[in-house]
Amino acid sequence: MTIILQKEQCIGCGSCAAVCGDCFEMEAEGKSHIKNSVAEQDGTEKLDGVETGCVKEAAEVCPVQCIKII
């Protein structure tokens, strides 16, 4: 699966990192970050080949729905 994080929409609540610390962490600026991701020019982060089950839960608990799974 592929994770896409729309950083400009992130409010920095930390819920994704709390439920899925394997894939997400909080940056010093207060926004979420996908570990080992590639930053895209449009301000999103993307990580391919993710097999961690908690990613779906992280997307579901995000209050602004800025995490997409493909």
pLDDT in tens, 44-65: 999 999 887 899 999 999 999 9
Q: Which CATH number covers residue 57?
A: 3.30.70.20
Return the pLDDT at 55.
95
Domain count along the chain: 1
Return the pLDDT at 53.
84
CA dihedral (44, 10, 32, 60) positive or negative: negative
Q: At 24, list the tokens.
A: 């997400």
Q: What is the mean pLDDT of the chain?
A: 94
Q: How far is CA 4 from CA 16, 21, 41, 58, in A?
A: 13, 16, 13, 12
Mean pLDDT value across residues 5-23: 96
Q: What's the domain range around 34?
A: 3-69
